[in-house]
Amino acid sequence: MSKVKDPKLAGNGEKELDWARGRMPMLASIRARFEKEKPLKGLSIGTCLHLEKKTGVLLETLKAGGANVFAASCNPLTTDDSVAAALAKNGINVFAWAGQSNEEYYANINSVLDGKPNAVIDDGCDQIFALHKNRRELLPNIRGGCEETTTGITRLKAMEKDGKLEFPVIAVNNAYSKYLFDNRFGTGQSTLDGIMRATNVLLAGKTVVVVGFGWCGRGIADRLRGLGANVVVVEISDRIRKGEPSGLHKALEALYSGYRVMDISSAAKVGDVFITATGCRNAIGSEHLKLMKSGAILANSGHFDNEIDKEYLAGQGKRREIKTNLEEFVMKDGRKLYLLSEGRLVNLSQPTGQGHPIEIMDGSFAIQALSLEYLLKNKLKHGVHDVPLEIDDKVAGMALESNGIRLPSLTKEQLDYLSSWEEGT
Ligand SMILES: NC(=O)c1ccc[n+]([C@@H]2O[C@H](COP(=O)([O-])OP(=O)(O)OC[C@H]3O[C@@H](n4cnc5c(N)ncnc54)[C@H](O)[C@@H]3O)[C@@H](O)[C@H]2O)c1
């Protein structure tokens, strides 16, 4: 049933999975409960996630809950082929390998949908989009979905606004604990890990431009500072989502955190390394690429490979692959620019990107598993829903507990004080 690169890689994948399982205590406790209670019994779950070892542990947890699990990758480059082989051997229906063509990528999502899902889990909304566009006959079967990332939520909100979202989706990305440990601390570490593995360059002393100072950008900038880089932050003046700080607020936060803040045209002239994390198209456009120094390195950590204008780079003529995930482009004026991972997520592109640290994904996927269970137990209206606060707090508490930290609750006296309006009592 599965389609993976090489089933013989399963032995290695099993060892990888085992390493992750031992470091994911939150998912282990959810799995133990799911095994007893079988909350997903008889349901088919379609998933479209970066298919590597931590995701594998989530998929096993869903299977332990009684689900028939189908898995595609949410990006053509991010499947760990040995993990995919091991999961297929362990009874997950896997349709993914690293280095899929665009056609293969969408065909694999379609194969997952052939499993007639009752619920879906997405990272970037491609599966939910395919369901609404090409597989509408399956919509009556769908009880809802969960979405993992900022870009997916942006797409879902746009669908909801146009009245086109035909089932409830929980915005797992928007749980405070997910923003905090995944987008900020996870992307902070894994993005730099991906860049260092692909290039082997020293970041200390380099001028590194972080484009977008949202949750991800802030984490990347903080970790760069720790490595001794000279960090420049680039923002815009707009507000992307209602009810959230604008780019002006983010820029001010960056400035008061001690970073240099510039517009992209000024930053383009001084950067040695550029990292985009905006969720926006052409955050680095051709007009900025024209200003860069020879030798500049370009990496993207935003969801889609459209944050850096790679078509412009390709149109310049000479391209050379130095090694997997490291390409050289010689500009017509002789400058050399280097693009990592084809402009796709640098922290997840195999084999140089390993994704977020295991402990981080334990938390993110604990929110996924609990949100899916909540979605299936409760009848939610069509549209995008926040993660219930109880789940958000529960996972933050579990993460602290897995670090040996347990915090007290407020006393009755303190609670009364915080809810009273009388002067100074
Ligand atoms: N690499 C990963 O593992 C990973 C993890 C989580 C999220 N993501 C993706 O990273 C992207 C950013 O996510 P986030 O949670 O930080 O979002 P966010 O909304 O918190 O931050 C994005 C920031 O970019 C700024 N911005 C938007 N367009 C810009 C432009 N053209 N130039 C400069 N700044 C611009 C916005 O003002 C905002 O401050 C999304 O695509 C998200 O899906 C990736």
**How is 226-274 classified by DSSP, letter by letter?**
HTT-EEEEE--SS-SSTTS--HHHHHHHHHHTT-EEE-HHHHHHH-SEE
Rg of the chain (C-alpha set): 22
Q: What is the pLDDT of residue 425?
A: 58
Does ligand 1 have an atom closer than 6 angstroms to the CB of 215? yes
Could you give phi then psi for residue 54, rounded to 5 degrees? -70, -40
C-alpha atoms less than 13 angstroms from C-alpha of 7 in its C-beta half-sphere: 10
Which neighbouring-strand residues pair with 336? 330
Q: What is the pLDDT of residue 1?
A: 85
Residue where the block lists tokens 């082929």 = 81
Q: Is the dihedral of CA 185, 186, 188, 190 positive or negative?
A: positive
Low-confidence ranges of the chain (pLDDT < 70): 423-425
Q: What is the pLDDT of residue 287?
A: 98
Q: Which domains does the chain have, with CATH numbers?
A: 7-178+357-401 (3.40.50.1480), 183-343 (3.40.50.720)
Closest CA to 215 of 162, 266, 164, 150: 150
Q: What is the DSSP string of 175-196?
A: SHHHIIIIIIIIHHHHHHHHHH
Closest CA to 305 of 102, 139, 141: 102
CB 63 within 8 A of CB 92: yes
Give, for ligand 1, the residue of 52, 150, 367 to mutate: max count of ligand atoms closer than 8 Å to Cβ: 150
Give, for ligand 1, the residue of 278, 281, 348 to mutate: max count of ligand atoms closer than 8 Å to Cβ: 278
- pLDDT tens track for 22-70: 999 999 999 999 999 999 999 999 999 999 999 999 999 999 999 999 9
Q: What is the pLDDT of residue 421?
A: 87
What is the CB neighbour count within 10 angstroms for residue 408?
5
Q: What is the pLDDT of residue 51?
A: 96
Q: What is the pLDDT of residue 268?
A: 98
Closest CA to 38 of 376, 380, 364: 376
Nearest CA to ligand 1 atom 38: 214
CB 307 within 8 A of CB 295: no
Number of H helices, E strands in the chain: 17, 15
Query: Closest ligand 1 atom to the C-alpha of 215?
Result: 16
Q: What is the pLDDT of residue 350?
A: 85
